[in-house]
Amino acid sequence: MADMEAIKEAVSKGKRKEIVGLVQAALDQGADPQKIINDYMIEAMKEVGARFEAKKIFVPEMMMSARTMQTGLDVIRPIIAESGSQQEKVGTVVIGTVFGDLHDIGKNLVVLMLESSGFEVINIGENVPPETFVEKARELGADVVGLSSLLTTGDPHVKATVEAFKNSDLAGKVKVVCGGAAVTPKFAVETCGADGHATDAVDAVKVIINLIGQS
């Protein structure tokens, strides 16, 4: 029986040395890679966020958990990515984390899920200013642009990025989708005027496929 709780515990406590063996053992025993990510690793990160908020842990501990999750994801990534390589291209997505924000784990999971669903995805990184989103979308022929935002201080940058698209030659041509713990559907769509919002990586694939179908 795979020890999934030990995976959660390793991410939660930032035990990076243990994670590769634990994840590999779970995979070898037939555990579903998506389940490992969604039900154990992401749940562990939620606990980490709550402990940080309660001032029980600080940035270095949060960083150790993040690194542990990333190391664990490196073991799972090739398995999930494999399914996308045999599919026909569904569309092109340019994705980045908004200005001032360095969080990348959630965005990178969205990249992985989109790639495994047949999208061409160009990850333009973190701390991306609005004008860079627009330039890259134009240069790379994006159908959809994804904005990730984890910090509420990033709200003005989400808004400015959506507005930069509206005021550009790409208005109406490129759809903008927002996600990340800081953005609600109401803020993204009603306040900022984005075309869509998704709560997680699986939802992101559904929302983006729908948006491409509409254009």
Interface residues toward ligand B12, by CB under 6 A: 42, 45-46, 48-49, 52-53, 59, 62-63, 66, 95, 100-107, 109-110, 146-148, 150-153, 177, 179-182, 198, 200-201, 204
Q: How far is the CB of 166 from ligand B12 (least distance, A)?
A: 17
Decide if 113 contacts 165 (C-beta within 8 A): no
What does DSSP say about strands 144-148 and 175-179: parallel, antiparallel, or unpaired? Answer: parallel
Q: Of 45 and 189, which CB lies nearer to ligand B12 in the complex structure?
A: 45
Q: What three-state secondary structure class fits 202?
A: helix
Q: How far is the CB of 172 from ligand B12 (least distance, A)?
A: 19
Q: Of 26 and 128, which CB lies nearer to ligand B12 in the complex structure?
A: 128
Q: Of 29 and 102, which CB lies nearer to ligand B12 in the complex structure?
A: 102
Strand spans (E) along the chain: 92-97, 120-123, 144-148, 175-179, 196-197
* CA dist., res. 165 & res. 174, Å (int): 8
Q: Of 91 and 106, which CB lies nearer to ligand B12 in the complex structure?
A: 106
Q: How far is the CB of 1 from ligand B12 (least distance, A)?
A: 25
Q: How far is the CB of 127 from ligand B12 (least distance, A)?
A: 7
* CA dist., res. 129 & res. 66, Å (int): 24
Q: How far is the CB of 206 from ligand B12 (least distance, A)?
A: 10
The separation between CA 157 and the C-alpha centre of its own chain, rounded to angstroms, equals 17
What does DSSP say about strands 120-123 and 175-179: parallel, antiparallel, or unpaired? Answer: unpaired
Q: How far is the CB of 17 from ligand B12 (least distance, A)?
A: 18
Strands, sheet with 120-123, edge to edge from the N-terminal-most edge strand: 120-123, 92-97, 144-148, 175-179, 196-197
Q: Of 79 and 102, which CB lies nearer to ligand B12 in the complex structure?
A: 102
